[in-house]
Structure 1
Amino acid sequence: MKNLVYALVGAGFMIACQPLSRPEISGTLTGIESDTLLVQSFPVNDRDSRRTDTVAMQNGSFAFNLGNSVLKQVYIYGKPSVKPNEDGSIPAISMKAVSFLLLPGQPIKISGSLDEYKLEGGSFYDDYNEVVEDCKTYSHKIDSLNVVCMDMEKKGIPGDSIRKVYAPAKEWYGNILKIKSDYVRQNPDKDVSVYVMSQLSRDQLGDAFNVLTDRVKEGMMAPLYQRMREGYEKELARDKAKEAMKPGNLAPEFTLKDLDGKNFDLSSLRGKYVVLDFWGSWCGWCIKGIPEMKKAYEKYKGKIEFVGIDCNDTEDKWKKAVAEHQLPWINVRNIGEPDVAVMYGVSGYPTKYVIDPEGKIAKQVVGEDPEFYMYLEALMK
């Protein structure tokens, strides 16, 4: 199974409900050092409702409920033994995990290890196990290569050498994607095909959408299908927008709510240089870049207006981050339609745009790059 990366953003975990007569999720997992599992879950069409539960194990066995009245994505992994950050949050960690869809009203049983596990609970999971089995030859090769490359990294071997060793994995990933794509085409009336489809590349998704039957699209898997469809269409719109976001072109107008709930219009700053900073409290590089941003803001105050556009946060997390980091510039939140990040072709965070006094795009910088500050300095001379 795949290695997954999860960032645990706080230590306030909820405890799964007990006791249980017929648990929704149960099983036995081996190879876990602690006696506690961390379970992350969210409805497939509402990632903002993500929750993390702690579940105790006895001799490797566990049983718990999440309330499976809606289709949910679930990840199970062993609770890590790590020291919290100074603010009490748990640092981001990489680990193997059990990953599955929890179907409404249908219990599931898990057995095996975090490296390789089996899902039981009906034909849906039987079908998914079949797909996983077909991919094993290549997934095992990738896992083995991951171990080799991680060992090389620990020994301080240069990244270029590691990338050369890892090169064969690209073909193996391609083989896995082909197996999954073929499965969807050959099984257009199976619910599990929607879940398999969610693991395909964007290029493959375009064809797969036209393969599935209406029964599958509109049935139990409808929330996941709809989320994928909307995401796919947004990516197409994002690509189209990127073509228009070139220096000299007019920056798209938008209206977003500020911290006080009032409308902010980009056009209200016409006649001034403007920096649009697309960021999020969840983005490590965005947070790391704040001190330099604040220095630049103070240096060019009155000459350039800064506008922080928060993306993919809840309102509470956005406001908390603005207050915690004492961001002195205009702060707005990207929510609703149209999606301003899509309008501006933003696919990585942070992304900064410099807009000239005529409202035209002057510069785009993706990532926390010194080039941005060098550009501002040259611009203000």
Structure 2
Amino acid sequence: MKHTFTLVLFFVFIFSWYSCKENHNAVLNISGLGDDTVFVRYVPISQYYSSEWAKDTVYSKQNVFYYNSKTTEPVFVEFSSAKGRFKRPDGSLFSVPQKEVVLLIKPNDNIKVKGDLKANYLDYKAFGSEFNEIYGQIRFNQKDTIIKLSKILQEFNFIRLDTAKKHIIDSLIREIDRMDSILEIDRLDYVKNNPDKELSAYYLVSQGYDTIEKYYPKLTPDIREGTFKNMLDYHYQHILRFNLTVENEKKVSSGTLAPEFVLTSFSGSDFSLDSIKDKYIVLDFWGSWCGWCIKGFPEMKEYYRKYKNKLEIVGIACHDKEDAWRRSVEENGLEWIQLINKSDIEHNVSILYGVRGYPSKIILDKNKRIVARFLGETPEFYTKLDELLRYTL
């Protein structure tokens, strides 16, 4: 009977161990955590820049907690604990990244994390995933800098709303930037030496555009087309757009002929610049999300009514969703031609005209040559309209 009971216990243990191994994408054992609430933030890599991180809560029991991915694609997951949080003088709570566990979790992963929750730092190592193992090792190598950064971030959070300590706050921000730069240099070194590793792709997207442009082509094809393809493409497309915008800004200058384009109007029909004859034209690049654009509409309405026999305004909504654009046009009572921009590089009119900020206004003469460009909501734009149109037949 005793042997039978022992055998049952053995199989219960094996079953429990096997279930844990098979059924959990991550098992975390954090010394010092005890029984605590663990706050989870996660986002699928394909949505890293396009959606909010989702939130969840799990619970640790005697230092151990489990996590299972909720998607069928790789996700980034951040774990922070109630015990790892700090309290501000006003009683509000905050956490610092240095006391979080960060994991890349793929659908079939079985990752084990062993760590120790300390006063200013969560010391941990991950097993079962090359990305997480190397990430944890580099983090450990940067430990001294990370702990210093943790302390600075804590000090900053304690006094960040104290206007009497602005000089100290400014000094802390500069020190935070300096520490971040030290960490980024180490990460870039890894990118340079490991173009065939997934972690290089992840580290690269946190670098500046010049650095991304330089090292993206040096990543191996498997890495460029792998797990981090969407993140890499997002940044590389931004670089291409920016470079083309800067190049076009130089081309589309005063005295040059305005490039032709076709966009969809508010009524749903195609609009071409060539359809406007014998009038001065203002191309108004704006967005429903742009506060300064909206603030400028009342004065633009006055000038449109003042000169509409001599002037046509063409509003081009940029980086906008169609429903938000339509709603904003109606709410603001915009009376002139309204178009919505296209997002692809080849047909994007803001890129074509080298527009680098919003609102931007470009004045064209009757021959569709560029007279002047204005960035921002500025009185000089209206002064120029008066100069051009006041005595124009």
| Separation of aligned partners in 2, 1:28 and 1:348 | 48
Deviations along 1:167-200, one digit per CA (max 9) or x if unpaired, are: 6666555444432321211111111211111111
Residue 152 of structure 2 is aligned to residue 144 of structure 1: yes
Q: Could you say if the C-alpha distance between residues 175 and 251 of structure 1 is closer, same or farther in structure 2, counting changes exceeding 3 Å?
A: farther
Q: In structure 1, what is the equivalent of residue 253 of structure 2?
A: 246
| Separation of aligned partners in 1, 2:150 and 2:179 | 7
| Separation of aligned partners in 2, 1:168 and 1:246 | 41
Q: In structure 1, what is the equivalent of residue 198 of structure 2?
A: 191
- In the alignment of these two chains, the number of paired residues is 338
Q: In structure 1, what is the equivalent of residue 34 of structure 2?
A: none
Q: Could you say if the C-alpha distance between residues 176 and 215 of structure 1 is closer, same or farther in structure 2, counting changes exceeding 3 Å?
A: same
Q: In structure 2, what is the equivalent of residue 280 of structure 1?
A: 287
Greater RCO structure (CA 8 Å; 6+ sep): 1
Q: In structure 2, what is the equivalent of residue 67 of structure 1?
A: 71
Q: In structure 2, what is the equivalent of residue 105 of structure 1?
A: 107
Post-superposition shift, 1:204? 1.0
Q: In structure 1, what is the equivalent of residue 132 of structure 2?
A: 125
Q: Secondary structure of the residue that 2:218 maps to in structure 1?
A: coil
Residue 364 of structure 2 is aligned to residue 355 of structure 1: yes
Q: In structure 2, what is the equivalent of residue 203 of structure 1?
A: 210
Q: In structure 2, what is the equivalent of residue 289 of structure 1?
A: 296
Q: In structure 1, what is the equivalent of residue 319 of structure 2?
A: 312
Deviations along 1:287-318, one digit per CA (max 9) or x if unpaired, are: 33333333433333333222221222222222
Q: Could you say if the C-alpha distance between residues 272 and 187 of structure 1 is closer, same or farther in structure 2, counting changes exceeding 3 Å?
A: same
Unaligned runs of 5+ in 2: 1-21, 31-36, 82-94
Contact 2:196–2:220 at 8 Å: present in 1 too? yes
Deviations along 1:57-105, one digit per CA (max 9) or x if unpaired, are: 7799996865243x56778999xxxxxxxxxxxxxxxx98889786552
Contact 1:44–1:73 at 8 Å: present in 2 too? no
* Selected match of 1:261 from 255, 268, 291: 268
Q: Could you say if the C-alpha distance between residues 224 and 357 of structure 1 is closer, same or farther in structure 2, counting changes exceeding 3 Å?
A: same
* Selected match of 1:44 from 43, 46, 60: 46
Deviations along 1:96-134, one digit per CA (max 9) or x if unpaired, are: 888978655256899989x97779673323333445556
Equivalent residues in 2 for 1:336-351, closer than 5 Å? 336=344, 337-351=346-360
Q: In structure 2, what is the equivalent of residue 334 of structure 1?
A: 341
Unaligned runs of 5+ in 1: 1-20, 30-34, 79-94
Equivalent residues in 2 for 1:161-240, closer than 5 Å? 172=179, 174-240=181-247
| Separation of aligned partners in 2, 1:380 and 1:235 | 34
TM-score (norm 1): 0.68
Q: Secondary structure of the residue that 1:44 maps to in structure 2?
A: helix
Post-superposition shift, 1:227? 2.8
| Separation of aligned partners in 2, 1:139 and 1:298 | 62
| Separation of aligned partners in 2, 1:360 and 1:349 | 21
Residue 163 of structure 2 is aligned to residue 155 of structure 1: yes
TM-score (norm 2): 0.66
Q: In structure 1, what is the equivalent of residue 383 of structure 2?
A: 374
Q: Secondary structure of the residue that 2:347 maps to in structure 1?
A: coil
Post-superposition shift, 1:55? 4.2
The answer to which structure has the higher helix fraction is 2
Contact 1:40–1:74 at 8 Å: present in 2 too? yes
Q: Secondary structure of the residue that 1:312 maps to in structure 2?
A: coil
| Separation of aligned partners in 1, 2:350 and 2:77 | 28
Q: Which amino acid aligns with 1:190?
A: K
